[in-house]
A and B are shown apart, each in its own frame.
Chain A
């Protein structure tokens, strides 16, 4: 295949990945990696390097909007970034020593888990019990605009959230994805943040987390300009269009169809990983 044709195919594929990733809340990274590896026969190391770049582009782009709306809790973001950046570097370093087949298997499992998470009905865990000493010390309790009303919230279990973030960061660095699903668990279920705050704060942290592992990948020669270029351009444009459509679209059915497609892709990754296809 010529470089020109490859670039065009990847541009279109990355656009779709970004578009669907943003509509379903799954993120572009988890879709572009199977596309590159299973679809175009690209070595998974290059696919991960390109994907992590696209994660920086999309999360930073949307974080810009959220931060301005005052939804992001910047203190929680900064505090948890210690965990996610350490994790991200750890993950990127582990990836160097781990057999590509294992990486593919772990990737497939996370993919299935993430798509199930997008289907799960969200339960509001917010609380106004200001009992956490950690939250008080680190000034994490906050408030956010909820339908025009400033709504306060209390933060719980800071240590638990921190360790979950360490894990989320490690997977992000290992697999080249944003691991938004895990970050939201840490913040919704463990730290009890409101959805709007957890989603936007997770997005805010994703850029720094991805930058930390991208640096390791850059030094390792996994960020190839010929792949990373069409991937990040396509995913960013796709995600931007997706975010615009999202406001109007009903996504329940789409999420369902998408979860099935993604699960099939994931099983293929796992199968290929186990049979030495990577």
Chain B
């Protein structure tokens, strides 16, 4: 119990800092690996980015990205890495909520949950169409 009582802003800061760094490193490694696979598959093809179309990118949701990552196709691995990158700051908010809870700062637990709720609604695809 002694430990949870003594959690200070400094501890939180150090923990949050480490989480952010680890998240960026891990996701970038995945993106680089995916990129190498992607180039080996598509490197000699012609690019087609002059006109945006909703259907050109097939991996657009959390579910399809998770379902396809183990195929180890380049695009799927890159999208998975990008998704991990997107999750990093979101995980940071989640962690802040937990630590504010341990600090018994319930106002900031609530504020953090509001931020999370906003992002979750967006993640469910509610705003995309």
Contacts and interface: CB of A to CB of B under 8 A. Distances in A.
Interface of A: 1-4, 6-7, 40-46, 53, 56-57, 60-61, 63-65, 67-68, 70, 72, 74-75, 78-79, 81-82, 85-86, 89, 92-93, 100, 138-139, 207-208, 210-212, 214-216, 218-230, 232-233, 236
A219 B17 contact: no
Interface residues of B, number: 68
B12 interface: yes
A76 to B, nearest CB: 11
Given A212-B118, A227-B49, A57 B128 contact: no
B44 A219 contact: no
Contact of A56 (B32, B44, B45, B85): B85
A225 B79 contact: yes
Contacts, number: 198
A81 B115 contact: yes
A264 to B, nearest CB: 23
Nearest to B75: A225
Interface in B8-28: 9-10, 12-14, 16-18, 20-21, 23-24, 27-28
A139 B49 CA distance: 48
A212 B76 CA distance: 21
A232 B28 contact: yes
Contacts of A228: 78, 82
Given A53-B82, A56-B89, A81-B115, 20 more contacts: A1-B46, A3-B45, A7-B43, A41-B49, A41-B50, A42-B49, A65-B17, A72-B13, A75-B108, A82-B111, A100-B52, A208-B92, A212-B122, A218-B60, A219-B61, A225-B82, A226-B38, A226-B49, A229-B34, A232-B82
Q: What's the dominant secondary structure at chain B's contact region?
A: helix
Contacts of A75: 108
A61 B119 contact: no
B10 A70 contact: yes
Contacts of B17: 63-65, 67-68
Nearest to A4: B43
Contacts of A61: 20-21, 24
B104 interface: no
A4 B114 CA distance: 43
Contacts of B119: 85, 208, 211-212, 215
Contacts of B60: 218-221, 223
15 contacts: A4-B39, A43-B50, A44-B52, A60-B92, A61-B20, A61-B21, A74-B13, A82-B114, A207-B89, A208-B89, A218-B82, A223-B79, A225-B34, A226-B49, A233-B28
Nearest to A77: B96
Contact of B115 (A41, A63, A72, A85): A85
Nearest to A230: B35
A16 B86 CA distance: 23
Interface string B26-56: 0110011011001100111111011111111
